[in-house]
């Protein structure tokens, strides 16, 4: 998959920067696709998620208590935006401390484990792979954090070697 990590200026603020993934040839980021796919059936939950993301960027930062941690492989920072038991949507993210968040995709969670739902499994495993690719670029020095740890700097475009 070819993609770029893009900063979402309207959600980013003094407390945290919020990014999403823009796949090559697409006009919508993974966050925008998630919203579009779910707004008709889950409008209130989508509104709540948007407000929560705005608050993360502008008021509070990406506080740990707002995320379900360890939704990926050990150390990859993949998590889910916390949902209350009565909520159905699951939105996967990569959280780098309280200052930086990369939003992936998600969907309605109607099963106990994500492996029981093809859509959630695809979204989660795709974000795991993206987290791994970001880590590799960080290890190689091609991506770094800004001095205040609130921005990703460097080569944020990723190309599949098979293309």
pLDDT tens, position by position, 37-96: 999 999 999 999 999 999 999 999 999 998 999 999 999 999 999 766 677 899 999 999
Q: Find out whether 146 and 153 touch, Cβ atoms under 8 Å.
A: yes
Q: Find out whether 93 and 124 touch, Cβ atoms under 8 Å.
A: no
At 91-120, the pLDDT tens digits run: 999 999 999 999 999 999 876 676 677 899
List the alpha helices (DSSP H) in the chain: 30-38, 43-55, 118-140
pTM: 0.93
At 131-141, the pLDDT tens digits run: 999 999 999 99
Single out the residue of 6, 37, 36 nearest to residue 23, CA to CA.
6
| Strand 157-158, strand 3-7: pairing | antiparallel
């Amino acid at each position: 998959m070819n993609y770029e990590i893009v900063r979402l200026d309207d959600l980013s603020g003094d407390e945290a920067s919020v990014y999403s993934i823009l796949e090559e040839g697409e006009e919508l980021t993974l966050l925008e696709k998630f919203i579009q796919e779910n707004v008709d059936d889950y409008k209130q939950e989508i509104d709540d998620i948007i407000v929560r993301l705005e608050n993360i960027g502008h008021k509070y930062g990406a506080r740990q208590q707002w995320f379900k941690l360890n939704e990926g492989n050990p150390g990859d920072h993949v998590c889910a935006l916390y949902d209350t038991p009565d909520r159905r949507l699951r939105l996967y993210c990569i959280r780098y401390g309280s200052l930086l968040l990369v939003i992936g995709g998600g969907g309605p969670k109607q099963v106990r484990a994500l492996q029981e739902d093809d859509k959630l499994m695809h979204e989660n495993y795709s974000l795991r792979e993206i987290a791994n690719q970001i880590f590799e670029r960080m290890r190689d020095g091609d991506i770094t954090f800004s001095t205040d740890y609130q921005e990703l700097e460097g080569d944020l475009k990723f190309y599949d070697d098979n293309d």
